Amino acid sequence: MLLTDMIKDVNLTKELKHYFGFDKFKGDQEAIIRNLLAGNDTFVLMPTGGGKSLCYQLPSLIMEGTAIVISPLIALMKNQVDVINGISEDGSIAHYLNSSLNKAAITQVMNDVRTGKTKLLYVAPESLNKEENVGFLRTVKISFYAIDEAHCISEWGHDFRPEYRNIRPTINKIGNAPVIALTATATDKVRSDIKKSLGITDAREFKSSFNRPNLYYEIRPKTNDIDRQIIMFIRQHAGKSGIIYCLARKKVEELAAVLQANDIKAAPYHAGLDSATRSQTQDDFLMERLDVIVATIAFGMGIDKPDVRFVIHYDIPKSLEGYYQETGRAGRDGGEGLCITFYSNKDLQKLEKIMDGKSVAEQDIGRQLLQETAAYAESSVCRRKMLLHYFGEEYDENNCHNCDNCLHPKEKKEARNALLIVLNAVKAVKENFRTDYVIDLVKGRGTDDIVSHKHNELDEFGSGEDEDDKIWNPVIRQAIIAGYLKKDVENYGLLKLTATGKRFIKHPVSFMIVEDKNFKSDYDEERHDSAAAALDQELYAMLRDLRKRMAAKLGIPPYVIFQDISLEQMATMYPVNMQELQNIQGVGAGKAKRYGTEFCKLIQQHCKENDIERPEELRVRTVAKKSMLKVKIIQSIDRQIALDDIANAQNIDFSDLLTEIEAIVYSGTKLNIDYFLDEVMDDERVEDIYDYFHDSVTDNIDTAMEELGGDYTEDEIRLVRIKFLSEMAN
Ligand code: ADP
Ligand code: MG
Ligand code: ZN
């Protein structure tokens, strides 16, 4: 009997029980394994946690030879190998080859493979493609190749790895055997990329549903009080595990510090941290010594914590694939999983800018992926329906009852006419253009592009002028979901008519849509701060008034007492004692003591008269201000080191140094920079600027430059202002 025939008859359930102790297969596992055992190429699409590993682990144990498992993460390989060795009787059937091994270890692994001991060999694509490894593997019997996390092949996925592109050529060099590719990313584009690149276009495909009914999706406008919203959210879900994703490492650090300052057990995680710290943080999260991880997307792949209860996106994700993977880490156990994303179209512009340095092709892909995410965020259609549609799955329910749009549905509007206009326009331009172009056309905008194609001469040019300007994006997106239009992702996202779309043109029917949301949020990275939103206008006016009176009495400008930003925070956080006052931005111990008493009294009075409760959770603390940099600057100035030398030593611009010094003196610390002024400026010039500030009602630099008649540089004015503030205020 041939070996393949023997394998056909194998009792897989028995093998499953024997090796893994499981009683039955999950989903399509058995069919997948049988397909592979029969020697066929296999393509597996299964959501995270679906049980992909077993699809190659079990057959490797049954088949003759060694299975090559290509997997992107060196850090996870050891863990996977340990798990599989744990189930085998002699404890050594899986090994890995990657750059973390020394020479002796590599020789050992090669011996084990040669003697047939190794059933599963995990390799990173970089190692697989290495000349010497190819040479070695050619001499070995390979049972099959498994490509895990196969979306890494595609630039359309969320973590493209160029080395993955070389897998097929390398397989051809080593020797042919069946290929099984596995991924949790399932857009048509990624799927076809994977198959093409691996040369398995005929592979049988096994696709599980991607719906995760227990996940709740919500998009919130990103506003300046985002930190406060997040803190409140975490407090409402105290003791539960959550992940917060930010795009930049710096933001990760900052937000983690803000959370810690608010007594939340949180830690940062990103690729810039050393590996000991990272694995400690992972451990602490798994062991629930930490509740919240603030992370870049470097965190999560392979983290198998079943009871993550919320995933927050601080910034818009770069693609819906990424979004889906990251949110997918919530509620793996089938329990609650809240997925909240903060969205602002300013972020979108920022991300588009970042792409400017890349190649045209990369930029194009990046933009299209971003636009899909933006469309998802701005739409009022059921989130689940949109996500599943994006992954090529239809969701027929009218209301999923578990997303913001379904829980707060918008009223529907008839858009039959608008759809007809769009479909006719798509037809008129021969289905060769993208959404933006079609919208310009129906609006009658004669862009260069349109004029160069002479499309301004078409009847369809301006055919939608009578409709509301904002209707076109939602009409087109919802027409795609409803199947009237198709976006050809392979071809730059060109809009194509479907058969249903063509039928609609002949016999238009009702087409109800929901309008998009307005996400023009006021989020401002510079000004955003955890308190800005809830400003008490009445109190703010009273505080300003008090400041003015005090300034007049003391004969100093008001801003010397407290800056506006400090008053704003006071009118939000209601500090009533010296301790709380020092939590306010720009208020150090010195200022609190010198001017604070009256302000605290006023705030207390105001709270009493207006029955304002100051609940503990409303007082969101910001992070301690005196950073190491500030401490170093203060020490250096005490030692009379020239300011330009300090800037050099700290590796910052002179102007940034001045900003730091300004922050120091504004919060009430005295700094004497006379030694430096003596050296770089004449006495009269210093005096002139000094007198100006003494009489001026504002400390604004631009005003000062103007008033002083352009005789002074900005640096000079700022230097003297520092001297002035330091002497007057402190
Ligand atoms: P994926 O790679 O698809 O994200 P994994 O392969 O890591 O998922 O499997 C997820 C979990 O499901 C693992 O804890 C695994 O042990 C478990 N699992 C897989 N197959 C079965 C099965 N047939 N019965 C029970 N548990 C299973
Ligand atoms: Mg996996
Ligand atoms: Zn819904």
Is the pLDDT higher at 315 or at 558?
315
Nearest CA to ligand 1 atom 24: 22
Residue 588 has a pLDDT of: 79
Cβ neighbourhood burial of 110 (10 Å; 0-12, 13-18, 19+): buried
- Distance, CA of 65 to CA of 143 (rounded, Å): 5
Of all atoms in ligand 1, which is nearest to the CA of residue 184? 3
Q: Do residue 24 and residue 82 come from a single domain?
A: yes
- Distance, CA of 210 to CA of 404 (rounded, Å): 19
Alpha carbon of 55 to ligand 1 centroid (Å): 9
Of all atoms in ligand 1, which is nearest to the CA of residue 23? 24
Alpha carbon of 408 to ligand 3 centroid (Å): 10
- Whether 373 is in a domain gets the answer no
For the segment 168-177, the average pLDDT, to the nearest whole number, is: 94
* Phi-psi category of residue 504: left, alpha or beta, with phi > 0 → left and psi -120 to 50 → alpha: alpha
Q: Is 384 helix (H, G, I), strand (E, B) or coil?
A: helix
What is the domain count for the chain? Answer: 5
Both tokens of 170, joined, read: 């390398």
Answer whether residue 542 shows pLDDT above 60: yes
> Does ligand 1 have an atom closer than 6 angstroms to the CB of 22?
yes
Cβ neighbourhood burial of 655 (10 Å; 0-12, 13-18, 19+): exposed
For the segment 15-28, the average pLDDT, to the nearest whole number, is: 89
Residue 521 has a pLDDT of: 61
Residue 88 has a pLDDT of: 73
Alpha carbon of 186 to ligand 3 centroid (Å): 20
Band (pLDDT 50/70/90 cuts) for residue 537 is: confident
Greatest C-alpha distance within the chain: 105
Q: Do residue 93 and residue 170 come from a single domain?
A: yes
Band (pLDDT 50/70/90 cuts) for residue 533 is: very low
Q: What is the pLDDT of residues 688-720, one digit of tens each?
A: 999 998 888 888 888 888 888 888 999 999 999
CATH of the domain at 198: 3.40.50.300
Both tokens of 88, joined, read: 């085998």
- Whether 126 is in a domain gets the answer yes
Band (pLDDT 50/70/90 cuts) for residue 493 is: confident
Question: For tokens 């985002």, what's the residue?
Answer: 226
Of all atoms in ligand 1, which is nearest to the CA of residue 16? 23
Q: Do residue 48 and residue 136 come from a single domain?
A: yes
Nearest CA to ligand 1 atom 23: 25
**Domain end residue (candidates: 207, 235, 264):** 207
Q: What is the pLDDT of residues 378-430, one digit of tens each?
A: 899 999 999 999 988 889 888 999 999 999 888 889 999 999 999 999 999 99
Q: Do residue 110 and residue 1 come from a single domain?
A: yes
Answer whether residue 654 shows pLDDT above 80: yes
Q: Do residue 123 and residue 30 come from a single domain?
A: yes
Q: What is the pLDDT of residues 121-135, one digit of tens each?
A: 999 998 898 998 999
Residue 135 has a pLDDT of: 93
Alpha carbon of 43 to ligand 1 centroid (Å): 17
Residue 617 has a pLDDT of: 42
Nearest CA to ligand 1 atom 26: 22
Nearest CA to ligand 1 atom 19: 51
Mean pLDDT of the chain: 87
Answer whether residue 269 shows pLDDT above 60: yes
Q: Order the strands of the 94-97 sheet from edge to edge.
A: 94-97, 120-123, 66-70, 142-147, 179-183, 42-45, 204-207
Residue 697 has a pLDDT of: 80
Residue type, 714: E
Q: Is the CB of residue 505 less than 8 Å from the CB of residue 424?
A: yes
Query: Among 23, 26, 84, 185, which residue has the most ligand 1 atoms within 8 Å of its CB, making it the best to mutate?
Result: 26
Both tokens of 418, joined, read: 């608008």
Query: Among 22, 53, 208, which residue has the most ligand 1 atoms within 8 Å of its CB, making it the best to mutate?
Result: 53
Of all atoms in ligand 1, which is nearest to the CA of residue 24? 23
DSSP 218-230: EEEE--TTHHHHH
- Whether 396 is in a domain gets the answer no
Q: What is the pLDDT of residues 559-603, one digit of tens each?
A: 888 888 788 888 877 888 888 888 787 787 788 888 899 999 999
Answer whether residue 3 shows pLDDT above 70: no
Residue 623 has a pLDDT of: 54
- Distance, CA of 507 to CA of 305 (rounded, Å): 52
Q: Do residue 476 and residue 438 come from a single domain?
A: yes
Q: Model-level pTM?
A: 0.66
Query: Which residues have a Cβ under 8 Å from the Cβ of 189 and sit 6 or more positions away?
Result: 154, 156, 489, 490
Q: Do residue 101 and residue 24 come from a single domain?
A: yes
> Does ligand 1 have an atom closer than 6 angstroms to the CB of 345?
no
Residue 196 has a pLDDT of: 95
Band (pLDDT 50/70/90 cuts) for residue 6 is: low
- Distance, CA of 355 to CA of 371 (rounded, Å): 13
Q: What is the pLDDT of residues 229-243, one digit of tens each?
A: 898 899 888 889 999
- Whether 365 is in a domain gets the answer no
- Distance, CA of 179 to CA of 199 (rounded, Å): 9
Which helix (H) or strand (E) is 605 found in, with range? helix 589-609
- Whether 144 is in a domain gets the answer yes
DSSP state of 403: B
Q: Do residue 147 and residue 257 come from a single domain?
A: no
Q: What is the pLDDT of residues 359-386, one digit of tens each?
A: 888 888 888 888 889 999 989 999 999 9
Is the pLDDT higher at 61 or at 621?
61
- Whether 675 is in a domain gets the answer yes
Nearest CA to ligand 1 atom 17: 51
Nearest to 167 by CA among 183, 150, 155, 192: 150
Instruction: Quickly list H helices, 610-673.
Output: 628-638, 643-650, 654-666
Q: Do residue 225 and residue 157 come from a single domain?
A: no
Q: What percent of the chain has pLDDT over 90?
A: 48
Residue type, 164: Y
CATH of the domain at 475: 1.10.10.10
- Whether 638 is in a domain gets the answer yes
Q: Do residue 313 and residue 435 come from a single domain?
A: no
> Does ligand 1 have an atom closer than 6 angstroms to the CB of 50?
yes
Q: Do residue 91 and residue 178 come from a single domain?
A: yes
Answer whether residue 79 shows pLDDT above 80: no
Question: For tokens 């992972």, what's the residue?
Answer: 282
Q: Is the CB of residue 418 less than 8 Å from the CB of residue 466?
A: no
Answer whether residue 530 shows pLDDT above 50: no
Nearest CA to ligand 1 atom 13: 51
Answer whether residue 284 shows pLDDT above 70: yes
φ and ψ at residue 68, rounded to 5 degrees? -95, 120
Q: Do residue 5 and residue 120 come from a single domain?
A: yes
Of all atoms in ligand 1, which is nearest to the CA of residue 26? 23
Answer whether residue 262 shows pLDDT above 60: yes
Nearest to 547 by CA among 700, 697, 689: 697
Query: Which residues have a Cβ under 8 Å from the Cβ of 458 and sit 6 or more positions away?
Result: 428, 429, 441
- Distance, CA of 171 to CA of 145 (rounded, Å): 8
Residue type, 653: D
Residue 145 has a pLDDT of: 98
Q: What is the pLDDT of residues 450-476, one digit of tens each?
A: 999 999 999 999 999 999 988 999 999
Question: For tokens 């995990």, what's the residue?
Answer: 122
Q: What percent of the chain has pLDDT over 70?
A: 92
Alpha carbon of 497 to ligand 1 centroid (Å): 41
Answer whether residue 45 shows pLDDT above 90: yes
Q: Which domain holds residue 262?
A: 215-358
- Whether 530 is in a domain gets the answer no
Alpha carbon of 9 to ligand 2 centroid (Å): 28
Is the pLDDT higher at 161 or at 542?
542
